[in-house]
Structure 1
Amino acid sequence: MRGLYLHIPFCRTRCHYCNFVTTAAPSPILRERFFEALSAEIKYARNRQGPLSFDTLYLGGGTPSSLSIPELRRLVERVQTVFPFSDGYEFTCEFNPGDGAGAKLRALQEIGVNRISLGCQSFRDELLQRLGRRHTARDITETVAKIRQAGITNISFDLMLRLPGQTVEDFRDSVRQCVELEAAQVSLYDLEIHEGTPFGKLQKEGKLNLPGEEDHARMYESAIEMLTNANYKHYEISNFAKPGLASRHNLIYWNNQEYLGLGPGAFTYLNGIRSQWAPGLVRYLEKCEARDWKNDTEDKLSEEEKETETLVTGLRLCGGVAPVSFPKIYSVLRDRLKALCEEGLMERSGENIRLTTRGKFLSEDVFTFLIQR
């Protein structure tokens, strides 16, 4: 499996927590510069990498749904002309509730989009306003109906937890509505606070009221309980899907398989090399226009590093990994895995070892312990 990711750095407004490579309300001139730059990067990638074929295509951002229909058609036509895709490939587009009438969604379906990742975040209007989101809970339900009317039935819902002022019941209500709206997948995201964002400033001033660790854990446990009871498979730490509808694109990341990332801030992993061509929009445009194709960062992974990354990404999957599949690092890991099992953070499942529910909640600590030097 191999995936292609395209980063669209445009949004109508910028959320209070956002630390992604985005710019709000871009001018027509900036938009045109970006599309010309991306077209040049696509051409270069084809010439450098050869006729790579892909099994998934993912439009992320930013807000791809903020693009006009002509811009969407132009972008996808360029990509599909240059790169071959496997039969039945998964084509995902991130979409904000309220971002388009039926015409835009029908256009997405016509150009091949067969999966929508919907940025719901919450079904509580007061929480959405606090996040700086433009949509309401009503926009979510209306957009879901329009997506299905356009002929796209695979809809993944994003939900955030640990929001300022959020209660456990707030979060449970959002999960409940995902189930009632028959989401194909539900993806959970912990709120992260970054310097330079409005939330970062509020936290520095001591004005950001976040749920405590106990409520945070109860939110996560509630999602597991409610979604598994509704016949969703808990297939990755933060992802739940109906049978056969797990995100194929994200599984490429979690199985540490190859992907090509195009656009500002995007990462690529091909031939054992992880690289980023340009970390921000300004530098991206300057490099494309100068035809400077040298990566800003590039790391060739050793065999040990490949095994370590495959271990960590694989442990995100609820089936876990087989320790014997990592012969170069297993001797170092053996005692650490044993200690994690004794702490109740990991458990054996046949030949595999996997995270427990508590281990999933504390996964970042688990991974840090595993890969420490």
Structure 2
Amino acid sequence: MKVTDNSALEFNKLLNRLKLAAYISFIIFSGILIAYAVKFGSFTDFWDRFSNLPDDWSAFGSLLSGASSFMGAVGTVGVMVLAIKQFKIQQKQIEAQNERQNKFEKLQQEKWETEDEMIKQQRFIEHQNQFITYINNFESYSKFKVNNKLGLYKKLFPHNNHENIYLISSFNENGSHLLETAKNEIEELYFYAHSYEIDTHVLFGLLIKSLEIFNLKYPAPPISGDIFNIKYENSGINIFRLDCFFEDLKKIFESMAMFSNSNLKIRYKLPEKKCLYNLERFAIENLTDLGFEAKIFTTCNGVKELIALQMEVKKFSNIGLPFEPIEFSNHEYMKKMASHWERIISFINEDEQIPNELQYKLSEFNSARFHNSVAREMYRKRSNRL
């Protein structure tokens, strides 16, 4: 607007100057005619003073031509100046318009870039939130929780950022793929955990390491049989429920594979010469030793004897004895389960024709449980008397 206003003002000034020049030239033209009339004629008897000679009219025509030529020259110059000025004004207006257009296009481009950046950022955040929703669904039916969900998202989608959103998981800079690596490690761990000849220390280390694959932690209160790792944190791996732990690994793997549009699946396979009590054997060999940097949490007495009983039963049964470790502190529950186990063991003994060893292990457990129960009752009565 400023350029347009200034141009209009300058144009008006120029028009006023041209008008003044036109007035001056008209006055000069009129003055010449008046001077001619005064000098060569009289204003009396006006019509009688007109000459009949062509030479006189020719001289008068020359006078008019000279006087009017001056006026024409002034007009021509004025029109040229006016055209040039108008052209310059139009040029300035075009330049100003182009400048405004460029500025507008620049602002519009910046706006589009900002909006595009916001859309990309929103898509990235929404993709992360969808991933967290999948993980929350896993946590709703699992005892494990995922520590640092966004860190796990970064493992699954190492190249995702605000600029690029990939819906399929990819390889990281080291050439490894989280799902493929996890699938291989978990399947090998399952096979290794049930192999007959293994190093139980290696097994324990691999089980703890498997938690790191998906950033798993166990925030719930411990139950009897839970293994505390070397840092004396509850790993959530229960010696009586190893298969449950592998089932949780499979569930979170499937959730992440589904989210990342992967067709990878975990398929557990048992070795031909299998052993289903490796974790119990590890517990008997190490965790009951106070010198080892790990321990088993328990709320009842006779855990060592119970582990030995479970290990013996698993030689004949894939799942061992059916019970709830969370109820171990319940004396009535343990009493009922002891009777139930005795019936199961009798059935196994009849089928396998090995009647002594299982019954002996059960008797050891009942003795340890009863002995400690009696000791606690005697201590309670003594405290009451004092």
> Which bracket does the TM-score occupy, shorter chain normalised?
under 0.3
Q: So what's the TM-score if we normalise by structure 1?
A: 0.25
Larger radius of gyration: 2
Q: So what's the TM-score if we normalise by structure 2?
A: 0.25
Structure with higher strand content: 1
Structure with higher helix content: 2
